[in-house]
Structure 1
Amino acid sequence: MAASSWEAMNFILYSAVNDSLTRQAVGRPQYDYAFILQAYRQVLECFGRVHIVASFAEVDPLARRLSQERQESVFLSFAAPQDTPTDLICPSVCVVAWEFDSIPSRQERGDPQQDWSRILGIHGRVITLSNHAARAIRKALGEDFPVLILPVPLWQNFAISPKSVQPVPINPGSTIDITGCILDTRVLGLCVDDLLPPLPTDEELARIEALKPPPLTPYRRFIIAKHYLHAWVWDIVRGPSLPESGHRIQYLNQWYWEGVQDLLPDFLRSWLARYLPGVAGPLPVPVAPVLELADLSQGAETRVDGVVYVSVLDTQDGRSNWPRLISAFCWAFRDTSDATLVLRITQTDLAAYYVEVLTVLRQLSPFACRVVVLHGELNESQSERLYQAASFYVNASHREGLCLPLMEFMARGTPALAPDHTAMEDYIDETVAFVVNSSAEPAFWPEDIRTLYRTRQYRPDWGSLKNAFQQSYRMSKENPQAYEVMSGAAIARMHVYCSVISWQSRLLAFLGQPVTGELKTASAVNMADNALC
């Protein structure tokens, strides 16, 4: 895009999740991209016009109209490259959040859209959120391929304001609340024995024995056949006696399964199941009873104190590594009553993880520490109380394309426990976090239906994570001055890493537009940092 004298730069933005669906999209694959778009939008509006489109079909008509008005435009796709078209007239750039050390660079199932190197090559440039993603792209497309590393500008939204409460190493006591429900190990009464069914009493064993049917002798088989065939004929003569489609064929089904099925050879059973499914088809699988869960439309609250660790995760996201995070915490503080782990679960369906989380907690019990699970929606004031309650933020993931929650808490001055791999290598080190050791392991791309191990992720060391919990706890208790230093370093790191001071010159130069001037004055810097445009 050559420099011109045209009046304004127009940014056309697209994400599969729009404003109205962002809250409902928490936990979905495109969830992160929706929030990345919103953060970019606030900054792009400072030095251009922003247009949000609901579909790719709207891009070219909008670009043509702007061109007729002598205005240039560029399309920024906040979606995975395979979901972004390559035939648009409007210049297109993918904004990529990527956590693996390589990108898909070949066609899969005859679909050229699965080849990221082809798509990005057609676009001619790409914006990434981390150095890790940039290296993965350049590995496939060459070191000279135009890549702009542009972290999400969260500083203006999450930096400490004069009204914010500075994080403290030991929480004296604060209330956290949510619209949904709270699972608290202090009130659940967890016991590992609950994982096993209770042993039946002698009376129950006798009752079970009495309910067992007698052996299938030839005479009993004759009685079964006589009973069900008689009922079948009687149903034909007098009309259906059972409701709707359950009549008639059900008698033959019961006769087959109770009286003769075990006498037939395998090939005949298979033949009958295929050609007479109503009689010899598979028996229905019993449906598990529906869990009786809390009313998620109501508010719930609890009070936390001591050293409070917070983590935001999706239990169905394979990156999160949440069972090992919980187990490391519970073993680190097995005999420590004033350590609390608050898990903010973004998964929308409580039933999808309720049993699994309780199973993990029961396996680890008994423990003196406390685990609190928050499920539901947080409004702005509720989120603020969660930020203020945290002493540390914890990440134990296998890989990250960015990790927005970690950055948000660090911008508020909350030190972290986290590995320094993938995107986190850009902003995690010993000055702002207790670094969790990790090692590379084979992995596959989520888009690969064959699950071939063609890339790598990282395995956080469980012992290192446990030690990080214990070291951070000791620092909170014994060296609050060191905590204050680490908290201040976290704020400074996020100010440098995700502020917007250098955005204008870097982005417009990357897009080939003339730079109108750096944001140099104090007032301009303040405006950029707070995105008050």
Structure 2
Amino acid sequence: MIILVSSKITQSTIQSSLGKPEYSYFFLLKEFLPVLKRIGEVITVTLDQVDTLYQQYREQGQQVIFLSISPPQQTPTNLQCPTVCLFAWEFPDTPDQPWDNNPGNDWRYVFSRIAGVIACSEESAQAVRNIMGPDYPVIALPAPIWPQYQHLLPETGWEPGKPGRVLEFSGHVIDSRVLGLSADGLVQHLPRPATISSKALSPKPDPGVLRLSARLFSQWVSALFRRYMLLATSLPTGPEPPPSMIGTQPVDNCRLELSGVVFCSMFSPSDGRKNWTDIVTAFCWAFRDTPDATLILKMTHHDLESYRIFLLTMLSRLAPFQCRVLTLHGYLSDQQYRELISASDFYVNASTGEGLCLPLMEFLSAGKPALAARHTAMLDYLDEQVALVVQSSVEPACWSHDPVGILRTRRHRINWQSLMEGYRQAYQLAQNDAPAYRCLSRNAWERMKAFADPSVVVAPMSRLFAAVQPSEPRVSGQRSMP
């Protein structure tokens, strides 16, 4: 079988694309490639090459499939080649209304014009069946990532809170320990502009007085604007931190020493679903008086300035605290990423919805327990056997690509108190109950072996590809909608 795949983001552009819409589909394609290569010959193409190659290989008697690893609204619907859309989705239902003069935003339009669908969670697969009918060719498959990380778990198990851990990183580093954080720098007492007595004004004021009033008003507006800018952009007061530690310059081979209990979370700071303010505030509140607790924030974004001021302001408002918040901005090589996993004790997720959450699955595959809520895609693999579960509740939401923001769907609101208490419970577990920690760790490793091993994914994917093959040369058309 010939499997044609395409990706807007490639290995050469991923570093400059981090945090942009759909950047995570590059990693999804990367994780599925080993399975695709077991099924057939994989050829990376551009969209204008698909039908030409389809006709060419069909004439040779080959079965051909085009796998579009992208959101459904970006999946082409006018190809002769049988098209299967592989996507991750974080809501319990799918868009069934068009907008922006794009009929593809109504996913029924897309699904009725392609051969089949691979969703990355059971919830998403059911959402497709809900709008297309129970007989629509859709399956739920996770990214088969377990083999890449399963060897990280030592034979004797992880030792939580292990001293002397070192993480080497090249990029921008923001370390709360060296910032001299203080909320004092967020408040500026500016001199008030001079005022004019009302007695000095007359029904027909002198032109000079008018000019003076206008100048004073301008000064007042300028002072107000300066105050706003200081609140929005001023750095906290205190000792001047080294430039490399506030993100102004990248650091080459920075050596970070870690101790105590280390929590880690990875996300794009521009993705509101990740709810990372709760991750930071709950951590700093839980460990205000605990110096041996560390939170590593691995930011996946191409622009440091898109979040740096917000992060520093938030940390300043939380100060003083004795725990450590370590923010890493930069691209990690595969080896550096594995070192980050090994140096961490828990992975933290506080999102309002997940289409899959590859980092969480990767940490679990290495035997690292999680602190996370159980909803959306995480329902497929997360429970109390592998994680400390954070409570959440349902609230109205809009679909992530809806420009109007109409509340048509639902998301999951994290219980902040439960997250904060979960941090403390995880800390106590790591410090005082190593056997219980290792039990969670081993359960996580076993769970991901049964859930995300290639052997689990190959068979159902092969069956779907075979089922959607046309018996006659395909002509682009429309599947009837229920």
Q: For residues 153-302 of structure 1, what are the structure 2 equivalents within 5 Å? A: 153-161=144-152, 166-197=157-188, 199=189, 218=206, 220=208, 293-296=247-250, 298-302=252-256
Match of 1:139 among 126, 130, 133: 130
Match of 1:20 among 4, 12, 20: 12
Matches within 5 A, 1:38-437: 38-53=30-45, 55-161=46-152, 166-197=157-188, 199=189, 218=206, 220=208, 293-296=247-250, 298-437=252-391
Tell me the SS of whatever aligns to 2:165: strand
Q: TM-score, normalised by structure 2?
A: 0.85
Structure-2 separation of matches of 1:298 and 1:474: 35
One-letter amino acid of the structure 2 residue matched with residue 336 of structure 1: T
The Cα of 1:167 is off from its aligned counterpart by 3.1
Paired AA for residue 372 in structure 1: L
Quick one: which amino acid aligns to residue 429 of structure 1? D
Write the distance in 1 (CA, Å) between the matches of 2:155 and 2:50: 41
- Residue deviations 1:262-321, cap 9 Å, x none? xxxxxxxxxxxxxxxxxxxxxxx9997999842126343321110000001111101111
| Structure 1 residue matching 2:89: 3-state secondary structure | coil
The change in CA–CA distance for 1:366 and 1:160 in structure 2 (over 3 A counts) is: same
Contact in 2 for aligned 1:125/1:146 (Cα 8 Å): yes
1:501 maps to 2:455:
yes
Q: Deviations over 1:364-420 (max 9, x none)?
A: 111121111111122233222211110100000011101011111111110000111
Q: What is the DSSP-based 3-state SS (H/G/I as helix, E as strand, rest coil) of the residue aligned with 1:123?
A: coil
Q: Is residue 166–residue 388 contact of structure 1 (8 Å, CA) maintained in 2?
A: no
Separation in 1 of the partners of 2:276 and 2:423? 15
Write the letter of the residue equivalent to 1:41.
L
The CA distance in 2 between the partners of 1:41 and 1:379, in whole Å, is 18
Question: Cα RMSD between the aligned structures?
Answer: 2.8
Alpha-carbon contact 2:98-2:106 (below 8 Å) kept: yes
Deviates more, 1:291-300 or 1:381-390: 291-300
Task: Give the counterpart letter for 2:117 in structure 1.
Answer: V
1:93 is paired with a residue of what secondary structure? strand
What is the rounded CA distance, in whole Å, between the counterparts of 2:57 and 2:26 in structure 1?
25
Residue 353 of structure 1, CA deviation: 0.7
Deviates further, 100-109 or 396-405: 100-109
**Which structure is larger by alpha-carbon Rg, 1 or 2?**
1
Q: CA deviation at 1:50?
A: 0.2
CA distance in 1, matches of 2:266, 2:435: 27
Aligned-partner SS, 2:455: coil
Deviation at 1:218, TM superposition (A): 2.9
Equivalent residues of 1:167, 1:389 under 8 A apart: no
- Distance in 1 between the 2:156 and 2:328 partners? 22
User: C-alpha displacement at 1:209, in angstroms?
Assistant: 6.3
Contact 1:167 1:390 in 2 (8 A): no
Q: Secondary structure at the match of 1:45?
A: helix
Over residues 177-221 of structure 1, what are the superposed CA-to-partner deviations in whole Å (9 max), with x where a residue is unaligned? 321121111111111222112x46xxxx59x869xxxx9963637
Extract unaligned runs of 5+ from structure 1: 1-8, 225-254, 262-284, 515-533
Could you tell me which amino acid in structure 2 is paired with residue 40 of structure 1? F
The 8 Å contact of residues 182 and 301 in structure 1, kept in 2 or not, is answered as no
Following superposition, the deviation at residue 165 of structure 1 comes to: 9.4
- How far, CA to CA, are the matches of 2:81 and 2:401 in structure 1? 27
Equivalent residue in structure 2 for 1:487, among 403, 423, 441: 441
Letter in 2 for 1:496: A
Aligned letter for 1:75? F
Deviation of residue 162 (structure 1)? 8.2
Query: Quick one: distance in 1 between partners of 2:401 and 2:152?
Result: 41
| 1:447 aligns with one of 391, 396, 401 | 401
Distance in 2 between the 1:172 and 1:438 partners?
A: 34
Identity of aligned residues (%): 38
Shift in Å at residue 176 of structure 1?
A: 1.6
1:79-129 deviation per Cα after TM superposition (whole angstroms, max 9, x unaligned): 111111111000001001000111111222442111101111221421011
Deviation at 1:258, TM superposition (A): 6.2
Over 3 Å counting, the alpha-carbon distance change for 1:491 and 1:258 in structure 2 is same
Q: Tell me by how many angstroms 1:502 deviates.
A: 3.1
Instruction: Tell me the equivalent position of 1:279.
Output: none
Q: Residues 339-364 of structure 1, C-alpha deviation per residue, up to 9 Å, x if partnerless?
A: 11111111221111111011111111
Whole-Å Cα distance in 2 between the matches of residues 367 and 162 of structure 1?
32
Q: Say if 1:193 and 1:162 are closer, same or farther in 2 by CA, change over 3 A.
A: closer
Q: Distance in 2 between matches of 1:23 and 1:109?
A: 30
Q: Does 1:32 align with 2:33?
A: no
Hey, what does 2:477 align to over in structure 1? none
Aligned residues: 441
Q: In the alignment, what sits opposite 1:520?
A: none
Q: Report the CA distance shift for 1:22/1:109 in structure 2 as closer, same or farther (over 3 A).
A: closer
318-327 or 373-382, larger mean C-alpha shift? 373-382
Task: Name which of 465, 476, 481 aligns with 2:430.
Answer: 476
Aligned residue for 1:377, secondary structure, equals coil
Q: Counterpart of 2:475?
A: none
Deviation at 1:70, TM superposition (A): 1.6
User: How far, CA to CA, are the matches of 1:378 and 1:110 in structure 2?
Assistant: 39
Distance 1:162 1:414, change over 3 A: closer
Output the CA distance in 2 between the equivalents of 1:164 and 1:57. Answer: 50
Aligned counterparts of 2:369 and 2:400: Cα–Cα separation in 1:
31
